[in-house]
Amino acid sequence: MDLQLNGKTALVTGASRGIGLAVVQALAAEGVRVVAAARNPTPELAAAGAKSVAVDLSDPASAERLVTEAVAELGGLDILVNNVGGGDGGLDGGFLDLTDAQWAQVLDLNFLATVRVTRAALPALTAARGSVVNVSSMGARVPHSGPVAYTTAKAALTALGKALAEEFGPRGVRVNTVSPGPVRTDMWESPSGYGAGLAAALGVPRADLLAGLPGATGMLIERLVEPDEVATLVAYLASPRAAATTGTDHLIDGGAVKTA
């Protein structure tokens, strides 16, 4: 299917690896000109044909600079994909184990960074009658499925998407959310990621944890979600093919969440 994206422009945050990199690759393959924002840009971004921008979005001043550079580079902005997030490592304890500093760090990266980038990008997106896709998590619906600070931040992100769709829909901007379940990314596979910390807390090898994760989370596909599967959904929602779709939250979790 032709997604009618050829010649469009996009800004993707959190783009260096995992879901973000897959989104950049999917959009570029459709003919989109992409600015890819990452704390540490990778050779894979250059190979995808994206213009990489090194930026730390935990710095409140960086969002405005990033969007200004992206709009200047692209000559406007049709699509914003807010994928920046993480900071879940070291949060495998319970609610009483988390400090104010940890809460602030996780909320800043997983919620407020998106608030700032979207706020800076909305004038250009409104001019283009463009679209926003936020990458949240199934943890927004089942908050016990991950670190409480992380899933709380993702719940706020999901709510933000619905609020923005209502406010900016009349101005021609569509806003949708994608909520993945466990995805085969560094969050689970890195020796220093959340999965490694959880495996250590449970006293099991990380490989055994990953092998049992689909069943433990109620997934019906007996494997983790692949980053390119998430990217395909993001690209569709960002495209003119989804022109009647806005204010939605799409699970891509292998059937883990059982409620509507």
Is residue 149 within 8 A of residue 91, CB to CB? The reply is yes
Return d(Cα 3, Cα 66) in angstroms, integer: 27
CA distances from 82 to 66, 96, 117, 145 (A): 13, 30, 8, 22
Return d(Cα 68, Cα 121) in angstroms, integer: 8
Structure tokens at 186: 């560094």
Return d(Cα 12, Cα 3) in angstroms, integer: 18
Query: Known catalytic residues?
Result: 150
Give which of 177, 196, 180 is closest to 256, Cα–Cα: 180
Is residue 154 within 8 A of residue 145, CB to CB? The reply is no
CA distances from 163 to 101, 158, 237 (A): 27, 9, 17
Is residue 162 within 8 A of residue 179, CB to CB? The reply is no
Is residue 255 within 8 A of residue 220, CB to CB? The reply is yes
Give which of 55, 3, 13 is closest to 157, Cα–Cα: 13
Task: Return the sign of the alpha-carbon dihedral for residues 197, 177, 17, 232.
Answer: positive
